[in-house]
Structure 1
Amino acid sequence: MLKSFALGFLMLYAEVLLTRITQNPYLSSDLLSASSKAKLAAIQSPTRAQQFILGRLLLAQAASQFLGIEYMAGDIEEGEFFPYLSRATHLHASISHSGDSLGVTVNPQRIGLDIESCRPKANIAKLAEFALHQDEASWVSAVPEESQERFYLLWTLREAAFKAGIREQVIRGNSLMIDGNISPAWHWASEREPSQRVSIACLAPCSMVLIHKSSL
């Protein structure tokens, strides 16, 4: 969804539907498409299978909400890497899960979504040095009491950008930092939930609203 904002630019408005996996324990695969059922059949873990089904059902709800019509999970097909909406191919879908949380979003432009459970890490400075650019690791460690939050923010932004297809800047050693600020060549939005960080990345200016669903 595109909305106008100051100076006449357009901002991409992303609605992210979030739910708890444990609040949806009994899910049937009957409504899934043939390609989704085939992919599901290859999943050995019952927990992972539940996540897979829930992701497609929640994605159908997100599409219904965006399009203003009832969109069925049976019209979600499996692509090479990501599911897609076969009756709304102008929309892009992104799914993420971490711990007990699962989220989805759909939009006319490609948006990457990432959710991470913010579990305290024993040695966050060393982890940042291993996983992030040197500039980013320095920023994470600069304020010890904020290091956990800073790490998860950068981590989710990198993951979201990768899912959005903005890969060169996150796998080629580039830093997201400029003069001590997060200033990548793309756009992002992020929110801290009580136990998790939710971030999106996109080539267009974007904003995000989180919509919690207790169960499907």
Structure 2
Amino acid sequence: MKVFAVPVDFNTPFPRELFDIISPERRNRLSEFRRKEDKIRGLLSELLVRLVLDLYYGIHSHQIHIIINGFGKPFLKNLPLHFNVSHSGKWIVAAVDDQSVGIDIEKIEPIDYQKISRSFFSNEEYTFIMDQQKQDQLMSFYSIWTGKESYLKATGQGLSVSLNSFSVCNDSGKIISNVSPGNEEWHLQSYNISPEYHLTVCSPSAVFPDKPVLFTLEEVIGHFVCKS
């Protein structure tokens, strides 16, 4: 497994030819976005995956065909690799592996985490959050939230699975590194790429990289502009 991240500067010029590199489906979807920031995040999400597949796996962009399953999860057609992407605020992140993988990043912002966790989390998870010191509760909420989201993305089921139907906490009330709905075992790994964000990766494997590989925005854009 490999995990990657790139920070975004929304004031950076993005050459129009970059939109010709991504899949027609994503290009059409981006055309419906009104906000510039949403278009850029969507563009960079796919460019990051294409860059990684080229640099680390020798798969060139013209060989990459991305399809979407019935739950909205993207797959690589005719390639023995799995990937997942996420973005929030100024960060775009991706995970690539030879088995199913999910990734989620969230910007840590003040929200009514007590109401949300009571409504959508398991009783065990809600109790875990509320048992923390007041100053740690918000971070605990995002730790659970990104864990649950990354699991749903890894399994490819999305929100067809209820958020309170599984738990990423054990009986002792601690965040653990695996969730086991049914007979499946999944593992979680969190990374600290910025104090204002929480990033979690989910995989059937318990082996994770020590840290994400960081690209600059210039490296991502330059890779494709130089080759186009």
TM-score in same-fold range (> 0.5): yes
Q: Name the structure 2 match of 1:182.
A: 175
- Contact kept in structure 2, 1:135 and 1:175, CA below 8 Å: yes
Q: Does the 8 Å CA contact 2:45/2:93 hold for their aligned counterparts?
A: yes
Query: Does residue 3 of structure 2 align to residue 15 of structure 1?
Result: yes
Q: How far apart are the structure 2 equivalents of 1:40 and 1:166?
A: 22
- Tell me the CA shift for residue 74 of structure 1: 7.2
Of 170, 173, 180, which residue of structure 1 is paired with 2:165?
173
1:213 aligns with 2:215: yes
Which of 20, 24, 32 aligns to 1:30? It is: 20
| Cα distance between partner residues in 2 of 1:51 and 1:73 | 21
* Equivalences, count: 201
Give structure 1 stretches of 5+ with no counterpart.
Answer: 1-12
RMSD of equivalent CA atoms: 2.5
Query: Partner residue of 1:101?
Result: 91
Aligned to 2:224: none
TM-score of the two chains, using structure 2 as the length reference: 0.76
Contact 1:92 1:108 in 2 (8 A): yes
Q: Residue type of the partner of 1:199?
A: T
The whole-number CA distance in structure 2 between the counterparts of 1:173 and 1:71 is 40
Work out the CA distance in 1 between the residues paired with 2:13 and 2:63.
20
**For structure 1, which segment, 14-23 or 205-214, has the greater mean C-alpha deviation from structure 2 after superposition?**
14-23
Of the candidates 130, 139, 153, which is equivalent to residue 141 of structure 1?
130
1:82/1:177 Cα in 2 relative to 1: closer, same or farther (>3 Å)? closer
Deviations 1:134-188 (A, max 9, x none): 1111111112221111111000000000000175876452322222223422111
Q: Judge conservation of contact 1:111–1:163 (CA < 8 Å) in 2.
A: yes
Q: 1:82 to 1:127 in 2, by over 3 A?
A: closer
Query: Moved runs in structure 1, 4+ residues, more than 4 A?
Result: 166-170
CA deviation map 1:183-211 (0-9, x unaligned): 42211100232210110011121313212
Taking structure 1 as the reference length, the TM-score comes to: 0.80
Partners of 2:107 and 2:127 in 1: CA distance: 22
Rounded to whole Å, the distance in 2 between the matches of 1:119 and 1:37 is: 30
Distance 2:65 2:88 in 1: 22
In the aligned structure 2, how far is the partner of 1:73 from the partner of 1:82? Answer: 21
**One-letter code of the match for 2:79?**
T
Aligned partners of 1:162 and 1:170 also within 8 Å:
no
Q: Deviations over 1:64-122 (max 9, x none)?
A: 2330x262277342424233334x6111110101112111121111110000001133x
Q: Distance in 2 between matches of 1:166 and 1:56?
A: 18
Unaligned segments of structure 2, at least 5 residues: 181-185, 221-228
Q: Which residue of 1 aligns with 2:145?
A: 155
> Which residue is equivalent to 2:76?
85
User: Does the 8 Å contact 1:62/1:105 carry over to 2?
Assistant: no
The percentage of aligned residue pairs carrying the same residue is 19
2 CA distance for matches of 1:18 and 1:109? 23
| CA distance in 1: counterparts of 2:156 and 2:68, whole angstroms | 18
Letter in 2 for 1:33: S
In the TM superposition, residue 126 of structure 1 has moved relative to its aligned partner by 2.7
The amino acid of 1:212's aligned partner reads L
Change (3 A) 1:156 1:134: same
